[in-house]
Chains A and B, each alone.
Chain A
Amino acid sequence: MADLDLAYLVSALPLLWDGMEVTLLLTLFGVVGGLALGAVLAVLRLSRAKPLALLAAGYVTFFRSIPILLGIFWFYFLVPLWLGRPVGGFYAALIGFVLFEAAYFCEIIRAGIQSVRRDQILAGLASGLTYRQTMRMVVLPQALRNMLPVLLTQSINLFKGTSLVYVVGVRDFLTAADIIGTRDNQIIEMYCFVAVVYFLLCCAASLLAGRLQRRYAI
């Protein structure tokens, strides 16, 4: 550790980058899928149809009460039993992330919509806009601005959380580093390097979140 070998690190970069690609893909698909499903759940939770609202509330409570690691295990071990064929670590993890993140995103989106004053809806309706138009043009743009910082924070959490795929042998960034470090007996160097990379990326994303918030704040 005393003399960190830069040349060694450089030689390891291609494999680490492969891992980083997996991490970024899992984060991207997890966020996009989670947001889409979360938005649907949020609309259901806010709907006046009681059974739908209860269903969505149940979903959210259920998934928020369970460790995400357990979710990944389920999809890795149980879904293949049900489907009759293996789904692979990547897809098992991705399904887990989407389903779990959707519960969190649902609550963020719901809070965002509820943060918009009710009289804003009345103002839109009073001007002759339909309810849908009012939601689309008056409420959601404000809700989105209000929830942007929290959405980004949650996405950063997922970015770090994707390292859980270690347990099902998917080669994300952390797993790749672990494999290389073990192989070359450079564990400490690798773990330090990984920590620095996560730290820098998350800091950059946090700064970006802060900047976006100031720019779009109402």
Chain B
Amino acid sequence: MIEIEHLSKRYDDFRVLADCTVAIARGEVIVVCGPSGSGKSTLIKCVNGLEPFDEGRITVDGISVGDRSTDLPKLRARIGMVFQSFELYPHMSVTENICLAQIKVLRRSKNEAVARARALLDRVGMLEHAEKFPGNLSGGQQQRVAIARALAMDPIAMLFDEPTSALDPEMINEVLDVMVDLAKEGMTMIVVTHEMGFARKVADRVVFMDEGSIVEDAPTDAFFAAPRSDRARLFLSKILQH
């Protein structure tokens, strides 16, 4: 469903992405990992056109992202995105956060949007906080609301950009649980994360990046059993040691 072909991007002389090729089938869950600065975030931000790229091609459900004639807002509305720092709108209540794009982009009625918001809040265990403001929620709660906000658009795929990196350790699992459920329901997902437990549990494939290149793209079991590249082996030994 998502094809990334020979993607390259540079900032002046710095190579951010170098000839990245990866394909994600419908219902697949891909975990992207690698050292910081390896281009993981940039890669997934290219998928919904938040980051422009110089060379290569990305298609989502048959639509070319880099094409000038592509209606990017329309395409983005079909791809959910969850950010490292949640990025809930601080001036809106939880419900308003989830309703904004439903009403303005999908043109749903207010009642319809609120009903959808409440159903999703119930699903992520946040219904009792529906009228609160983001500032009054913990990080884990905010991230669950952010996931509900993305799901409210009925996306065909979800992008997660280090969704648990900004969380206190005790809140990581409440967010991962929601993501595991989502994966098991068959959502197509690209997840940038260092949570290797999550990768083991639900990922179909692990993509390892370093210095803007995709160094390894392997089925999850194979990746953890025996990474082919030295760099991936080194990375794994560093983050799995404790």
Residue ranges of A at the interface with B (Cβ–Cβ < 8 Å): 117, 119-120, 122-130, 133, 137-138, 141-142, 145, 218
Contacts and interface: CB of A to CB of B under 8 A. Distances in A.
- The 8 A-B pairs at the shortest CB distance, nearest first, are namely A128-B77, A123-B87, A127-B101, A128-B105, A126-B81, A218-B90, A128-B76, A128-B73
A125 to B, nearest CB: 6
Contacts of A133: 104
Contact of B85 (A119, A125, A137, A142): A119
A37 B234 CA distance: 58
A117 B87 CA distance: 9
B100 A122 contact: no
B9 interface: no
A129 B77 CA distance: 8
B83 A127 contact: no
Given A123-B87, A126-B48, A128-B77, 20 more contacts: A119-B87, A122-B50, A122-B83, A123-B89, A125-B50, A125-B73, A127-B100, A127-B101, A127-B105, A127-B149, A128-B76, A128-B101, A129-B73, A129-B101, A129-B104, A133-B104, A137-B104, A141-B91, A218-B91, A218-B135
Contact of A122 (B79, B87, B135): B87
The range of chain B's interface size is: 20 to 34
A117 B83 CA distance: 13
A123 B135 CA distance: 17
9 contacts: A120-B87, A122-B87, A123-B89, A127-B77, A127-B100, A127-B149, A129-B101, A137-B104, A142-B91
Contacts of B50: 122, 125-126
Contacts of B91: 141-142, 145, 218
A122 B149 CA distance: 14
B199 interface: no
A130 B101 CA distance: 10
B31 to A, nearest CB: 20
A125 B90 CA distance: 16
B153 interface: yes
A215 B153 CA distance: 32
A130 B72 CA distance: 9
B68 interface: no
Interface string B89-128: 1110000000011001110000000000000000000000
B130 to A, nearest CB: 19
Contacts of A123: 81, 83, 87-89
B100 A130 contact: no
Contacts of A142: 89-91
Interface in B142-199: 149-150, 153
B28 to A, nearest CB: 21
B83 A128 contact: no
Of A123, A125, A128, A129, most B-chain CB atoms within 10 Å: A128
B74 interface: yes
A213 to B, nearest CB: 14
A123 B161 CA distance: 12
Contacts of A218: 90-91, 135
B100 A137 contact: yes
Interface in B6-50: 45, 48, 50
Contacts of A129: 73, 100-101, 104-105
A125 B76 contact: yes
B89 A120 contact: yes
A112 B48 CA distance: 28
B76 A126 contact: yes
